[in-house]
Chains A and B, each alone.
Chain A
Amino acid sequence: MSKSYYEFFCPVKIIAGHSALEHVPFELSTLGAKRPMILTDAGVRKAGLLAPVEAALQVGGIGAAAIFDDVPPDSSLATVRAAATTYRDNDCDAILAIGGGSVIDTSKAVNILVSLGGDDLMAYAGAHNLPRPLKPLFVIPTTSGTGSEVTLAAVISDPERSVKLPFASYYLMPNATVLDPRMTLTLPAHITAMTGMDAMTHAVEAFTCLAANPISDAYATAAIQKIANNLLVAIDEPRNADARLELAQASTMAGIAFSNAMVGLVHALGHATGGVCHLPHGLCMSLYLPYALEYNKSVNGARIGELLLPLAGAQVYASTPPAQRADVAIDFIRRLRDHLHAKTQLPRTLQETGKVRRDQLDEIADRALNDGSIIYNPKEADLGQLRAILDKAWG
């Protein structure tokens, strides 16, 4: 079905390629920023990823005025406040986030406090509750998966009330995202695999769910092609800068696609599984993607069949009869999952993770039913149907 109405928005400047980091000082200066605070985590620092950034800033005449490297994997209100204090104490005027999803989400929340003043992040939670633009925010992703570098959303946990606070506003979108292959060269194989499958799922769901539109489709299919062609290469040759750059671009493209076309059942199940069993998000995506497509096939099989072209290439696509393309596309994804298992021991089933008990499946199904993503799934799913998908994914 063609889309009767849609909106598309992405004002984030993409700075991508070899030596991209060296463009950061000039880009900061065009926004009037002179004293950026680097926001990152201990892992990034230990991997030595700050060195090339600091060197690029130094030579460009805009040194980091402060470094906050204490962001935990699941960022909290306390971290946001602490980082905001560092920013204020050092008289900073921009934020440079270097890391994965947690660092990027934290940087957006810190930007709310340092731009709008005060300490009360809660006052800005929800959709479109920011009154004006924020300070310059640049993002340098060190994983290729979340897509958070181009989205308008951030999630911060409040451990005291044990809730997750969602934020969504156009003003949360970074001014620029910097994709430099040096930043992902040292990413371990299993994290490359998980984050790659997260990006793949963003693109596949953006293309196959209800809010897909012609512009998001273009980003989604291009992202799928890059991931299909480069994920296994980057795992086999971790220091292959071209493959790493392709994955980084694919992740950002998939992020642009899903932030405009949303995600569906795979993410509903993944969010639920993350909440109940604390399984990594990318792993959940890899586990559920084939089964969710299988489930949706009866409603949008033709659309799923179109995925075969970016996944497998023109020759396979042309030689596969249209009626079989959906099945062959799903099979391609299943085989990718199996290759990732062979190369990185990424679990193929819920059972293989060793972290999920069978008696937790009911709770996962119940949470998935109430997850926001499920509304965009092309096929309605009730509790029993979700449970049946989970039984298949159990293995």
Chain B
Amino acid sequence: MTAHSLSLAAAQRAYVALMMTVISRGLCAASINDDDVGREVARFRPGYTLVMTVFPDGPRFGLEVTPDGHFARSAVTDEAADLVIRFKHLAHAFLVFTFQEGTARAFANDRMVADGDLSDAIRLVRCLNRMEALILPGPVARRALKQYPPLPLGQKLRTASGIYGRVAASFFTR
């Protein structure tokens, strides 16, 4: 492996790690701010844990469903989690987190494996899609999603600013 490809991998790793943080916090915020995501999350049982990670050893994030039906960040291990979604390589996580490949497409392209109840994985993907539709600029979201929901601009701005606000706040408060 050349020095160039190693430093590229290091940069990808740093970016993916950052996006893991942004996305996990975005999901937590959306589970409170957005009715659709809130409804989806409320259908997981309280205490349900999930992990999104990259083979072989991260970066990763864990989430837990709180008693009042929201996502909260969690330190759950891969072994203990109810659902583990694992990218098979850092480069695949990079594709998805730079929104070059949508989450559903990434599943279809064998970029990742889900260990756990598949219907839970589907629900998580819907939450991710919804959050991406809310917080990403339209052209980027359109590339990442099978279908870009026609969100009224006002709603998009309101909910997105709420999510951004909470993500920003959670960076400062932890």
Residues of A with Cβ closer than 8 Å to B? Answer: 3-7, 126-129, 166, 209-211, 262, 369-372, 374-376, 378-380
Contact = CB atoms under 8 A, between A and B. Distances in A.
Contact of B146 (A370, A372, A380): A380
A375 B109 contact: no
A368 B78 CA distance: 28
B123 A210 contact: no
B47 interface: no
* Most interface-central of A6, A262, A369, A375 (chain B CB within 10 A): A375
Given A375-B107, A376-B108, A379-B146, 8 more contacts: A5-B111, A126-B115, A209-B108, A210-B108, A262-B108, A369-B122, A370-B123, A371-B122
A126 B145 CA distance: 27
Interface of A is mostly: loop
A164 to B, nearest CB: 10
Contacts, number: 53
Contacts of B146: 378-380
Interface of B: 104-105, 107-111, 113-116, 118-119, 121-123, 125, 145-147
A378 B145 CA distance: 11
B130 to A, nearest CB: 11
B158 to A, nearest CB: 21
29 contacts: A3-B109, A4-B109, A5-B109, A6-B109, A7-B110, A126-B116, A127-B114, A127-B115, A128-B113, A128-B115, A166-B118, A211-B107, A211-B109, A370-B119, A370-B123, A371-B118, A371-B119, A371-B122, A372-B118, A372-B121, A374-B122, A375-B107, A375-B121, A375-B122, A375-B125, A376-B104, A376-B107, A378-B146, A379-B147
Contacts of A127: 113-115
Given A127-B113, A380-B146, A211 B122 contact: no
B122 A372 contact: yes
A166 B109 CA distance: 21
